[in-house]
Every structure is written in structure tokens, then in C-alpha cells.
Amino acid sequence: MNKILIVAKYTFMTNFTTKWFLVTTLIPIFTEFFLLHSNKMFNFFLLFTNHLNPRNVIALIIPVIAAYFCILYSSIIANEVVNDRTTRINELLFAMPSARIQLIGKIVGLYVLLIIQLAMLTVATIFLTEWQRNLFLYVPTIFDAIYFTFNILFATFFGLIWTVQIAVCIDDNTQTALAVIPVTLIYLQAAGLAISFALTPGKMSFGIARIVLDCVGIIPGIGSILMPVLYYAQNFSLIEVIVSVIGEILIGKFLYKRAIKKYSVKALAHSNKKTNKWI
């Protein structure tokens, strides 16, 4: 456990002290401020969503926030893994921990960073909402707030796992973007699809379309973005949501074990091979 915390602390401090953290935290806050403070933008938003109830508006926001954080943290884990594979900078620090400990430590460190960002975003949201005296980002129930946070954390975790699967195959740190682009495109497409469902409530809640979406909902990461929208805007049942979560967990567990194995064999083995060569 101590080794995991050491790796987590190193990963956290490495990213927390960068301008990246400040900029990516301020972007959604300033976006909220602009939407709330600008009467024209706020009226446009109300006109854009005038046929939606508050729960559907939540469904519209979830995929955007989830995809945003998934893409951000996928880029970080890609850099971490590729650096492990192409440099010797972490060899002394990580001489003893196993691949499993290293990967868990990196994910824990990034999760602490994500939770801090979500906390700052929540505080800013409450302040701006109270200041402007409107319900633009109002969450109707505690369940909605928990489900909102749960999906962001879940989607981000699976985004990290998907990225690791690709990043361990990259030998040149100038090609790190190759590990991020596939996950970015998939999450953006899922978010775009989710937004279209949020803006057309009830249109996909029957027939073969519902069966297909139930099957897609068990894909790790994609289900975390799509299912909240299907639940809020397309009248999908809570049972379907639970089945989706269980499916994501089972498949995600397999992907997680596979990611650890690939990370151990390719990233660390490659690093050790380079070390022995120079020694």
C-alpha cells in the first residue's frame, strides 16, 4: 500500500504543479460564467432546451463533462506510460514496485487530481448559480448528483485503461498522440451521440434501437456516457442502467488485468532491456 501511495503522490505532484492543471480547471468554470453571465447566451440556451425538463438538461451536460475529463486524463496517462517505455527517469524511483503497483499508483494519483478538479468545479457551480439566481446547473436530487459524479469517475477510469492498452505499444515519445487520438475520437463520438439523444427525448426508447443501445451500454466508457442520457431522456429503466454498469465492470476488469499484463511485459520489460544494455 505504501508503494502505491508513493507512486500516486509522485504522479499527483508532477501534474498538480503544472499550468495544465490550472488551465483545464479554469476552462469549464469560465464557460459556466460566460453562459450564466451573458444574457444572450443564457437565453439562447433556454431556447435551445425549451422542450427539455431539468433532468434532460442534466442528461445534456453529463456527456460533455465526462468526455472532457476523459480526454484530459487519457492524455496524461499516455504520457506517463510512454515515458516509462522510452526513458530511464523512473527506473530508480520505481525499481522495486511491480507493474501492478505502478499502474494502480498512477491511476490513484490521477483520480485524486480529478476529484480536486470536480470539487473546484462544484464549488464554482454552486457560487455562480446562487449569484445569478437561476437553475442553469441545478441538480434536482441527491441521486442525480451521485449518478453524475459516478459516471464521470467511471468513464475516466475506462478511458485510462483503453489508453494504456495502446500507449504500451509506442516506442517513441513523439508519437504519444497516437495513444490519445483513438480514445478521444471514440469519446467525442459517444458524447455527440448522447447529446443528440438528449435533444430528442423518447425517440430511441423502443424496438430494435433500444436493444442495440442496451448492448452498446455495456462497453466500458461508452456506456458511462450514453446510459445517463438514455435513462434521463429516453425512458430507459433503472434495471437497464444497473445491467449496463455490471457489464462495464466485468469487461473493464478483464481490460484492467490485460492492461497490467501489457504494461508489465512491454513497458517495464522494454525499460529493463534498455537498462541492461547500457550497464
* DSSP states along 140-160: -SHHHHHHHHHHHHHHHHHHH
The pLDDT-based confidence of 272 (bands split at 50, 70, 90) is very low
Residue (of 85, 256, 76, 10) closest to 2 by Cα position: 10
Nearest-angstrom CA–CA distance, 167 and 129: 40
pTM of the model: 0.80
- Provide φ and ψ at 236, rounded to 5°: -75, 145
**Domain ranges (residues) in the chain:** 2-270
At residue 278, the pLDDT reads 31
Q: What is the pLDDT of residues 190-246, one digit of tens each?
A: 888 888 887 777 777 777 888 888 898 899 989 888 888 888 877 788 898 899 999
**Residue showing cell 487519457:** 74
Please state, rounded to an integer, the average pLDDT across all residues of the chain.
Answer: 78
φ, ψ of residue 35 in degrees (nearest 5): -65, -40
Strands (E), 83-221: none
Cα–Cα distance measured from residue 229 to residue 199, given in angstroms and rounded to the nearest whole number: 10
User: Which among 70, 78, 71 has a CA at the least distance from the CA of 174?
Assistant: 78
Q: Which of 27, 230, 259 is nearest to 162 (CA)?
A: 259
